[in-house]
Amino acid sequence: MGLSSTDSFDESPSKNAQDVRPDHQECLKILNLVLDEEAGPKEQEYFKKHIENCMPYYEIYNVDKAIKDLIRQKCYDKEVPSDLVDQIKSKVFQGAEE
């Protein structure tokens, strides 16, 4: 379930990887950027490393992603009334078109 990434993050996988010092606030800023594909390569890398070592963030990111995907799949649910395009056209072109 962890990201078996090719990135070697071989700093001893201890709880106290002070040199990496995952900063939750920094990560929070980046989380939405990553989710929305607005993050630069550096931010993506930073985030990826963080969630490899941080279960809460791994969970949050995946929940957020699942919700985002679900919105895209399920919330596009209104059919355009069949006569709307014609109504618009006839108003806009004021009957210039057949």
Partner 1 sequence: MSETRRQSYSQMEKEKTFEKEFLPHIDSMYNFAYRLTFDEDDAKDLVQDTYLKAYRFIESFEKGTNAKAWLFRILKNSFINDFRKKSKQPSKVDYQEVETFYNSEDVDQSITTDLRIETVQDMIGDEISNALNSLDVDFRTVIILCDLEGFKYDEMAKILDIPIGTVRSRLHRARNLLKERLSDYAKKMGYKN
**Shortest Cβ 70–partner 1 spacing (Å):** 5
- The answer to whether the beta carbons of residues 61 and 51 sit under 8 Å apart is yes
Please tell me the distance from the alpha carbon of residue 37 to that of residue 17, in angstroms, as a whole number: 28
39 Cβ partners below 8 Å, 6+ apart? 30, 33, 47
Stretch that binds partner 1, among 2-10, 11-19, 45-53, 61-69 (CB under 8 A): 61-69
57 Cβ partners below 8 Å, 6+ apart? 24, 27, 31, 50, 51
Of 57, 66, 64, whose CA–CA distance to 23 is shortest?
57
Instruction: Please report whether residue 76 would count as binding partner 1 according to CB under 8 A.
Output: yes
Q: Which of 5, 38, 45, 55 binds partner 1 (CB under 8 A)?
A: 38
Instruction: Please report whether residue 21 would count as binding partner 1 according to CB under 8 A.
Output: no
* Residue number with CB closer to partner 1 (11 or 59): 59
The site for partner 1 (CB under 8 A) is made up of 24-25, 28-29, 32, 36, 38, 56, 59-60, 62-64, 66-68, 70-78, 80-81, 84-85, 87-88, 91-93
